Amino acid sequence: MSYDRCVRCGSCLKICPIFDAMGEEQYSPRGKTYLLQIMDQIEQDPEAAKEFRRLLFMCTMCGRCKETCSSDVDLLAIWHEQRGKSIREHPDEFAYLKPLQEALENVQNIYGLDPEDRAMFWLDELEDEIPGLADKVYEPGKKAEVMVFIGCLMSFRSSQLDVLRALLTTLWKSGTDYLVMGAEEFCCGHPLYLIGNDEGAIELRKHNKAVIEDAGAKKVITCCPGCLIQLKQYHDLGDIEALHHTQFFDMMYDELPTYKAEKPFAYHDPCELHRILEIKKEPRSLMDKMHVDYRDIEPTCCGGGGLLRITDPNLSDIIIQMRAASQHLKDTTVLTCCPSCREQLLSNELKTRDIIELVSEIIEEVGE
Amino acid sequence: MKIRDYVIGANASMYYRLNFKKIKGVYYPKSEQELIDIVKIAREKGYGVTPKGGGSGLSGACTGGDRERIMVSSLRMNRVLTISKDQKYVDVQPGATPDEINAMLEPMGMKFWVAPSSRDIATVGGILSTDGGGNDTWRNGTMRDNTLRVRMVLYDGSILTVDWSGVKCENKKIEKALNSKGMTVHDVAGSHGTLGFITEIRVRINPIPKHTLSGGVAHYDDLNELGDVLAKMINEKCSIWYGEAIAEAHPDVRGDMKPPLLILEVPEENTCDLKGITGYKPISKEKLQQYKDTRIKLPKRNPNEGMQVALFEGYGFHGTSLRKMQDCVNEINDLLRSHDLEPFAKYGHGPSKWYLGDNSPAYGIVLHSREIRPPEKSGPEVFEAVKDIVALCKKLGVTPKPEHKWPFSDEVKNARLSEIRQALGEGFNEFLLDSKCYDVLASMV
């Protein structure tokens, strides 16, 4: 097994946001890997084995442990595999995840809401501001160069509306030939992936692929790094290029006007974007093109990854609070480009903006 | 049992399959007072106490062996307490790592100059307890050379302060006994948690000099030649800021390196002298970094097939054994192969310094070692090789470095620790000094 290749050196301890918050070895990647290495002994103690399974879900899946590991142990793959195994073999211990799985099965979104509401909620808000927006919702027969995959968070959460407005405004102003998937957008399957349920995501992906192909799209773009992981790596889209919105707009704009801000920003790298997808350059390139004054903050998780907000919301809050304190975020606006990170920052009363909001704002100013 | 009682066994040594039923409690104190309360619980229940730092050591001391014991981690005692730039010291809690300390010091232009490869997780308490060092130990000394004062909690709950002139203790009887035995920081260094729990260390810091370093590499025909060069470097007291030798390394992990070789980093003004002694050739900064990365990952990488094991760490070649390093390594490798262990990598800080059991310094090279473990062999069978290597090293004049070795294989250190424990109590990490230590370690492989 791959966890046997861990030499237990401990380099993954201090960089783990869960260990940082909890301070005890069982919360660390080394601790969990060690427990797997002695699982023959743990399994003789049912209570300890149950506690171990719970620990597997106290993880943001940020991938920093995998990145740090000099033994080349694919820790993310281990967590993925072990989470799936735990739920399959002990479903009663994970009953709290059942509504999520049922929602994805029944209405294909994580909130259990009517699929028709996917486009309705924000369309009502934005169609007066963005001319022709209602026509941009996919229906069979409609074609476009670019398909926008909005994702569950941005489709249903009012806290994401400003980002969506900025995204759609920028697409409109730039004259991009695009469609959104509307009610035909199914969850990308990332939440199921995060709980190790590979089978459950198959039908969701198949549907999304069919819609994107039917629209004749050459590119599919999304603001959500989790969705992008799924689109790039698991949707089998062939020649259709899946891009993060920062990549798309960085390619579109060679130069941008200067963005004037009263105070410098802090830039938070979304873990799934920069560490798992290795998209680090384009967000910075876009900010640099606008001459945005920002400082990089330590590239550690905001606490919003790995479904931690569902599996242990208190721990998730502790992580962002510790991060806010150590990185002095209280009086700063944190720039980022991930709806999940945005939720996490906003829920802890931190100011945040997506990079696309700055792009949209500056384009509108110039236009005026 | 709680999962925390199992996971405390996580450590980098091959001794990781513990008898968890003997662990009677696991604690992560934040303060000295919390620790005193914990030790009181152990004392009242008759349990031993095993201190644990980052768990990156390879001796197995932090496992606590087979005693009924409580395990105490220093991971939450990691604060830097005071910094005196003028007096050039910092007081730190035992769970702070060199990286954490230096993150605070570097903006001031100061540095704590002890840099083991595991400096991101190894704690200063653990480094002192193993008298660790790094690739600059030749220049900056081992942990004991950088320790000014140690504060510890003893098994009777009293606080002991040890420096280079002696000890002070709340328990005056203990103070008198220890001072009569001449206890100093030497005795805490390499004590592997057998004396007490370190709660605070005053370590030396020094400015970060402003000069340009130049990197280079030197290749040799064999390890005898490498040993000769190291002996010359030691005699000439060469100024080396980074010195690492790769003696041998498996093709799966050595990249484009062709061992035996020395990777060196020296101040530019010293390069001429060094070229004459070592024959080293300058390399680009990128290449130097690549070599350093390959080196630092050697202890952590596995072969493409099979698993590596840290069977016997820290072969200390000095004096005659340094000049006959190839002959010695050949004998060691023959012995390993006779136990079906395939040599995987040997590498280490060179030139370097370490202390022998009688506290006299040794100068030479400390070769770390990794072998490919035969999957069909049991733990006790693998451990048989360790016992044979201990005997062989004694014959060859290769002395284990306390950073990685155990008091049980160093009779002088063992006797000294036993003598001190008679005065200050014997409740800490007793298994290491027990005559059955071999059996206990073998059971955990």
pLDDT in tens, B245-297: 999 999 999 999 999 999 999 988 888 778 889 999 999 999 999 999 999 99
User: Half-sphere exposure of B339 toward its Cβ, with a 13 Å CA cutoff?
Assistant: 24
Q: How far is B12 from chain A (nearest CA, A)?
A: 5
Does A7 sit within 8 Å of B6, measured CB to CB?
no
Say whether both A113 and A230 belong to one domain: yes
pLDDT tier, B401 (very low <50, low <70, confident <90, very high otherwise): low
Residue B34 C-beta-side C-alpha neighbours within 13 Å: 12
Does A217 map to a domain?
yes
Do residue B16 and residue A5 have CB atoms under 8 angstroms apart?
no
Q: Does B73 contact A41 at a Cβ distance shorter than 8 Å?
A: no
Residue B361 is assigned to a structural domain of this protein: yes
Omega into B260 within 30° of 0, i.e. cis? yes
Domain region containing B401: 213-405
In a domain, A95, yes or no: no
- B429, part of any domain: yes
Site from B1, B3, B301 to mutate, A interface, most A CB atoms within 10 angstroms: B3
Which pLDDT value is given to residue B404?
58
B274 and B291 belong to one structural domain? yes
The pLDDT value given to residue B211: 83
B16 and B106 share one domain: no
User: Does the beta carbon of B31 lie under 8 angstroms from any beta carbon of chain A?
Assistant: no
Terminal alpha carbon distance of chain B:
22
Pick the last residue of a domain from B208, B224, B243: B208
A192: Cα within 13 Å, side-chain hemisphere: 24
> Which residues of chain B make contact with A70, given a CB cutoff of 8 A?
296-297, 300-301
B contact test, residue of A1, A3, A8 with most B CBs within 10 A = A8
Residue whose C-alpha is closest to residue A150's, from A80, A236, A212, A239: A212
Asked if residue A135 is part of any domain, the answer here is yes
Task: Count chain A–chain B contacts defined by CB atoms under 8 A.
Answer: 102
Nearest to B3 among A13, A51, A70 (CB): A51
Q: Do B8 and A25 touch (CB under 8 A)?
A: yes
Q: Cβ of A70 and B121 within 8 Å?
A: no
B57 at A interface, C-beta within 8 A: no
Q: Which residues of A touch B56 (CB under 8 A)?
A: 9-10
B395 lies in the same domain as B431: no
Together in a domain, B181 and B35 = no
pLDDT reported for residue A118? 85
pLDDT tens per residue, chain A (368 residues)? Answer: 699 999 999 999 999 999 999 999 999 999 999 999 999 999 999 999 999 999 999 999 999 999 999 999 999 999 999 999 999 999 999 999 999 999 988 889 888 888 888 878 788 889 999 999 999 999 999 999 999 999 999 999 989 999 999 999 999 999 999 999 999 999 999 999 999 998 989 999 999 999 999 999 999 999 999 999 999 999 999 999 999 999 999 999 999 999 999 999 999 999 999 999 999 999 999 999 999 999 999 999 999 999 999 999 999 999 999 999 999 999 999 999 999 999 999 999 999 999 999 999 999 887 65
* Domain C-terminal end among A198, A220, A252: A252
The total domain count for chain B is 3
**A34 and A77 within one domain:** yes
Q: Is the domain of A44 the same as that of A170?
A: no
Cis omega before residue B98 (within 30°)? no
Angle, CA of B232, B233 and B235, to the nearest 5°: 60
Question: Using the beta-carbon criterion (under 8 Å), do A51 and B2 form an inter-chain contact?
Answer: yes
Which residues of A fall below an 8 Å CB-CB distance to B? 4-5, 7-11, 13-14, 23-26, 30-31, 34-35, 37-38, 41-42, 45, 47-48, 51-52, 55, 69-72
Written as six digits, the tokens of B228 are 């000769």
| Shared-domain flag, residues A159 and A291 | no
Residues of A in Cβ contact (< 8 Å) with B11: 8
Please report the pLDDT score of residue B410 as a whole number.
Answer: 84
The answer on B299 and B328 residing in a single domain is: yes
- Comparing CA positions, the residue from A292, A270, A229, A331 lying closest to residue A60 is A270
Stretch B370-392: mean pLDDT = 92
Three-class HEC string of chain B: CCHHHHHCCCCCCCCCCCCHHHEEEEECCCCHHHHHHHHHHHHHHCCEEEEECCCCCCCCHHHCCCCCEEEEECCCCCCEEEEECCCCEEEECCCCCHHHHHHHHHHHCEECCCCCCCCCCCCHHHHHHHCCCCCCHHHHCCCHHHEEEEEEECCCCCEEEEECCCEEECCHHHHHHHHHCCCCHHHHCCCCCCCCEEEEEEEECEECCCCCEEEEEEECCCHHHHHHHHHHHHHCCCCCCEEEEEEEECCCCCCCCCCCEEEEEEEHHHHHHHHHHHCCEECCHHHHHHHHHHHHHCCCCCCCCCCEECCCCCEEEECHHHHCHHHHHHHHHHHHHHCCCEEEEEEEEEEEEEECCCCCEEEEEEEEEEEECCCCCCHHHHHHHHHHHHHHHHHHCCEECCCCCCHHHCHHHHHHHHHHHHHHCCCECHHHHCCCHHHHHHHHC
Does residue A315 share a domain with residue A292? Answer: yes
Angstroms from B162 CA to nearest CA on chain A: 29
Note the pLDDT of residue A122. Answer: 86
- Token pair for residue A4? 């046997």
Alpha-carbon gap: A49 to the closest alpha carbon of chain B (Å): 8
Q: Is A25 in Cβ contact with B76 (below 8 Å)?
A: no
Q: Flag whether A260 is in a domain.
A: no
**Domain co-membership, A172 together with A108:** yes
Residues B363 and B289 in one domain: yes
Residue A179, H or E segment: strand A178-180
Q: Do B60 and B176 share a domain, yes or no? A: no
Interface residue B362 vs chain A (CB under 8 A): no
**Contact partners, residue B439, CB within 8 Å, separation at least 6:** none
Same domain flag for A189 and A276:
no
Under 8 Å between Cβ of B30 and A62: no
CA distances to A94, A181, B189 from A112, rounded to whole Å, are: 18, 18, 61
> What is the model's pLDDT at position B153?
98
Question: Does a structural domain hold residue B101?
Answer: yes
- In this model, does residue B236 exceed pLDDT 70? yes
Q: Say whether B120 and A11 touch across the interface (CB within 8 A).
A: yes
CA distance B313 to chain A (A): 14
Same domain, B253 and B237: yes
CATH number at residue B130: 3.30.465.10
Does pLDDT of B408 surpass 70?
no
Residue B186 confidence (pLDDT) above 60: yes
Number of domains in chain A: 3
**CA distances (Å), A113 to each of A120, A306, B89, in order?**
12, 22, 62
Sequence-ordered alpha helix ranges (H) in A38-74: 39-42, 46-56, 64-68
Same domain, A236 and A131: yes
Query: What pLDDT, on the 0 to 100 scale, is given for residue A366?
Result: 76
In this predicted structure, the answer to whether residue B194 has a pLDDT above a threshold of 90 is yes
Task: Give which of B230, B390, B258 is closest to B322, Cα–Cα.
Answer: B230
Query: Residue A94: inside a domain, yes or no?
Result: no
B6–A70: do the CB atoms touch at under 8 Å?
Answer: no
Residues A240 and A271 in one domain: no
CA B401 to chain centre: 8
> Which of A225, A252, A279 represents a domain boundary (last residue)?
A252
Contact criterion met (CB < 8 Å) for B56 and A45 = no
Chain A interface includes B17 (CB < 8 A): yes
d(CA B367, CA B350): 8
User: Which of B3, B75, B100 lies at the smallest CB-CB distance from A55?
Assistant: B3
Name the pairing type of β-strands B261-267 and B281-282.
unpaired
Nearest to B401 by CA among B356, B347, B339: B356
Q: Which residues of A touch B310 (CB under 8 A)?
A: 7
Same domain, A277 and A246: no
Query: How far from chain centre, in Å, is Cα B74?
Result: 17
Half-sphere exposure (CA, 13 Å, Cβ side) for B388?
Answer: 16
Using the beta-carbon criterion (under 8 Å), do A38 and B16 form an inter-chain contact?
A: yes
B417 belongs to a structural domain: no
**Which CATH number covers residue A82?**
1.10.1060.10
pLDDT for A111: 87
Instruction: Give pLDDT, residue B187.
Output: 97
Q: Both B124 and B99 in a single domain?
A: yes
CATH code, domain carrying B30: 3.30.43
Q: Please name the residue of chain A whose CA is at the shortest distance from the CA of residue B72.
A: A24
Tell me which of A220, A252, A284 is where a domain ends: A252
> Does B109 fall in a domain?
yes
Instruction: Provide, as residue numbers in chain B, all residues whose Cβ is less than 8 Å from the Cβ of A298.
Output: none
Q: How far lies A16's CA from each of A29, A52, B11, in Å?
A: 7, 17, 17
Closest chain B CA to residue A23: B76
**Buried b or exposed e, range A149-165, using 16+ CB within 10 angstroms:** bbbbbbbbbeebeebbb
Q: Which residue of A has its CA nearest to B4?
A: A26
Do residue A128 and residue A19 come from a single domain? no
In this structure, are A118 and A245 located in the same domain?
yes
For residues B124 and B193, state if they share a domain. yes
Contact A42 B6 (CB under 8 A): yes
A258 within a domain of the structure (yes/no): no
Say yes or no: B104 and B202 in one domain: yes
Tell me: do B285 and B428 sit in the same domain.
no
To the nearest whole number, what is the mean pLDDT of chain B? 94
Q: At what angle do helices B223-235 and B271-278 cross, to 10 degrees?
A: 140
pLDDT digits (tens, 9 = 90+) for B122-150: 999 999 999 999 888 999 999 999 999 99
**Contact criterion met (CB below 8 Å) for A297 and A327:** yes
**A30 min Cα distance to partner chain B (Å):** 7
Pairwise CA distance, residues B157 & B171, whole Å: 9
Residue A341 lies in a domain: yes
User: Phi/psi zone of residue B371: left (φ > 0), alpha (ψ -120 to 50 degrees), beta?
Assistant: beta
Query: Which of A1, A4, A5, A9 is the best mutation test for B, with the most CBs of B within 10 A?
Result: A9
- Assigned domain for B412 exists: no
* Residues of chain B positioned with their CB less than 8 A from the CB of A45: 1, 6
Cβ B10–A25 below 8 Å, yes or no? yes
Residues in chain A within 8 Å Cβ distance of B10 = 8, 10, 25, 30-31, 34
Instruction: Give the domain extent around A10.
Output: 2-89
Q: Which of A4, A23, A47 sits opposite B28 (nearest CB)?
A: A23
